[in-house]
Structure 1
């Protein structure tokens, strides 16, 4: 079947590649996707080690965390949708190379400036790979396997994020060089990852030379589809806001308030949130995933219990929050990816997915930066409570929005 050129000049994605190459390509992309996301959370347990070495405090830690999300958002606004024209494989390869460059900077980092540059480049890599790999998985699997695509893509995302903190914590606690050995191992692993991308079948034919420009977020044209998409996007914004708050607060909270100094334990506690999300999105009943209320209910309960744990300095309460919020994040994320895949124009699949992930990482940036700013003027517990109320309000606003009745 010959591809057509759309009226807007975009190249339509080819039908799924036949046979073994498509199946092999699907799992290769999923594996590399997991690896790239793993790299995104490797630094989290290491901030406590870098801080005394480089002389920075909590606000700088928050800034470094937010710079990663800013890089991701920039990638989603400028680069991620280029694969609709240039092809999936070139963008995936570029993202792996960006991850490798970021890893080299982490190895060389001896000041905050280099750390910020490494984190920003890591965010660029994650943003490009997230949207492009999700689009490629959908095309390699075919329209008949949308459930498999949403399950595998969200599992790769959440699984990678969870494994990153666990792996970094283990290396930091038991490795010879806590802030370097894990990055050497990761850099080596990116070589076969690049080869896997190169041998993966391309799903966009006759690629054109893309023009780089800042894109406006794309949403479906039909009102009913637009409302459905925005509800799913609002849910994932709230879910990532919860994960952003958790990831930025937990390492310092465990060390300073609960006196947990084992890096492997800290990394595992952060990673547990994403592992629970992974289990939820894989094992949850379909009615939980497709339902309007399960994800918001788990998120709201998780935030409430999280705040209780912060104020009471209770580790068991804190762990309960991880189970509740992780379940909500997994449900919201998988449902949203499925909605975006289903509503996306096949000629512009990465475009709509970029918008979806833009909502997600915006949810990470806003509360993280706000926490860093508020923490300079008021008590951290009060600052966190203010942000928790905002996250709950956003979650409920999205869940309570009425479905559209118009179809045009």
Structure 2
């Protein structure tokens, strides 16, 4: 039904390129996608070094994290949908250049203002790449390989996020310069990444002159499709709220409450959430991915267990909660990408994907800012508990809403 219509329209929308070149382009874009996402989490373990150097506290750390998410949201509302008109390749190339500019700012950052600018540019790059690369992968794979495109795009996203914190932690702990060496290496890696984007086939034809504007988030026109999409968007909002809460909480919790000062260990603990999410997407049975309850069950159980670890100051309990929450995050994200790809009009694929990712990254902003504000007035454990209950309630609301049967 939907797949057949999408296949017919996609055939008209995608330029007739050589099959081998198209397959090569698919894997090149997937690799660059992972690299760009990796850059988004590189700074997370490094705030422990920047804070004393630049003289800022926990609230500023929260603000820097939120500025990154704000840049991502702005990119999704303004820039990412342009690829439906101007083409995927120009927007992907611009996103890689933005990542390079962000990395250069991290290398020269000696004050909070420069750090904020670097994180904002990093968010812009991530926002453009998530929607545009996901759309490009779906088109390069073709209708007959839609499931492969969905799997690879989610693996690139989650895999990059997880590897970023792990790599930064290792460089900071064992490298010669904790806050610079990792960014020099990353900047060098963006050179072949840019070339990879340039040689990848364009999948949008005919291209039109882009019109820059702030777009209202797009949702499907048909009522049943709209309901299914909103369920997926609500679920991913809750899942990314967990990842935002986790990413902003873990470094200080490990350092201040459990006295873990090894930066590599801190980076690995944050990365564990995303790596488990990646494994869940690749290894989980299809019935878990398509089923209504497995993803919310894992997510809710994970939140409950890592909250218990926070209150009891137990690292093993916290780690167990990380494993469960990571599985819930991965299953939710994978299912949502599949639903969005299926429901999207191929002529406006990046538009609907932008709305999906907008919901996801809004989920990271809300708990991060809320935690930073609440932490100024009440105990951190109580603040985290309030946010955890809110996330669980949102997850349950999405899971309990009636499915229309328009998607599988």
Give me the TM-score of the superposition, normalised by structure 1: 0.96
User: Contact 2:13–2:206 at 8 Å: present in 1 too?
Assistant: no
Residue 62 of structure 2 is matched in structure 1 by 62
Give the CA deviation at 1:21.
Answer: 0.4
> Which position in structure 1 is the counterpart of 2:322?
322
How far apart in 1 are the matches of 2:404 and 2:164?
40
Does structure 1 residue 136 correspond to structure 2 residue 136? yes
Who is 1:72 aligned against?
Answer: 72
Contact preservation (8 Å) 2:225, 2:406: no
- Rounded to whole Å, the distance in 2 between the matches of 1:406 and 1:156 is 27
Mark the runs of 5 or more structure 1 residues left unpaired by the alignment.
Answer: 1-10
Equivalent pair of 2:15/2:202 in contact (CA under 8 Å): no
Secondary structure of residue in 1 paired with 2:45: helix
Matched residue of 2:14: which SS? coil
Question: SS of 1:37's equivalent?
Answer: helix
- Once residues 401 and 16 of structure 2 are traced to their aligned partners in structure 1, the CA distance between those partners, rounded to angstroms, is 36
State whether residues 306 and 318 of structure 2, in contact with CA within 8 Å, keep that contact through their aligned partners in structure 1. Answer: yes
Structure 1: how far apart are the matches of 2:73 and 2:90? Answer: 20
- State whether residues 12 and 347 of structure 1, in contact with CA within 8 Å, keep that contact through their aligned partners in structure 2: no
* Secondary structure class of the residue paired with 1:178: coil
In structure 2, the residue matched to 1:3 is: none
Matches within 5 A, 1:141-180: 141-180=141-180
Gaps in structure 2 of 5+ consecutive residues: 1-10
CA RMSD of aligned residues (A): 1.3
CA distance in 2, matches of 1:236, 1:311: 26
* 2:381 matches 1:381: yes
* Whole-angstrom CA distance in 2 between matches of 1:406 and 1:29: 30
User: How far apart are 1:319 and its partner, in Å?
Assistant: 0.5
CA deviation digits over 1:208-255, x for unaligned, max 9?
111100001111111111111111111111110000000000001000
Measured in 1, the distance between the counterparts of 2:230 and 2:29 equals 27
Q: Distance in 2 between matches of 1:379 and 1:47?
A: 21
1:46 and 1:172 in contact (8 A); partners too: yes
TM-score (norm 2): 0.96
Cα separation, 2, equivalents of 1:149 and 1:207: 23
Separation in 2, partners of 1:257, 1:396? 31
2:32–2:193 Cα contact (<8 Å) kept: yes
Alignment of 1:276-315 (within 5 A): 276-315=276-315
SS of alignment partner, residue 267 of structure 1: helix
1:337-348 equivalences under 5 Å are 337-348=337-348
Q: Contact conserved, 2:102 with 2:118, CA < 8 A, in 1?
A: yes
Per mean C-alpha deviation after superposition, the further-off stretch among 265-274 and 395-404 is 395-404
Name the counterpart of 2:96: 96
Deviation, 1:146, is 1.1
Q: 1:12 to 1:90 in 2, by over 3 A?
A: farther
Find the aligned partners of 2:346 and 2:295 in 1 and give their Cα distance.
28
**1:116 alignment counterpart:** 116
Residue 194 (structure 2) pairs with residue 215 (structure 1)? no
The C-alpha deviation readout for 1:352-386, integer Å capped at 9, x for no partner, is 00000000000000010011011111110000000
Pairwise CA distance, 1:15: 5.4
- Structure-2 separation of matches of 1:405 and 1:395: 20
How many residues end up aligned between the 2 structures? 397
Q: Is the 8 A contact 2:228 2:406 kept in 1?
A: no
Q: Distance in 1 between matches of 2:406 and 2:229?
A: 14
Q: In the alignment, what sits opposite 1:262?
A: 262
Contact 1:15–1:139 (CA under 8 A) maintained in structure 2: no
| Contact persistence 1:12–1:346 (CA under 8 A) | no
> Shift of residue 405 of structure 1?
7.5
Partner deviation per Cα, 1:122-146 (whole Å, 9 max, x = no partner): 0000000000000000000001111
Q: In structure 2, what is the Cα distance between the partners aligned to 1:52 and 1:155?
A: 35
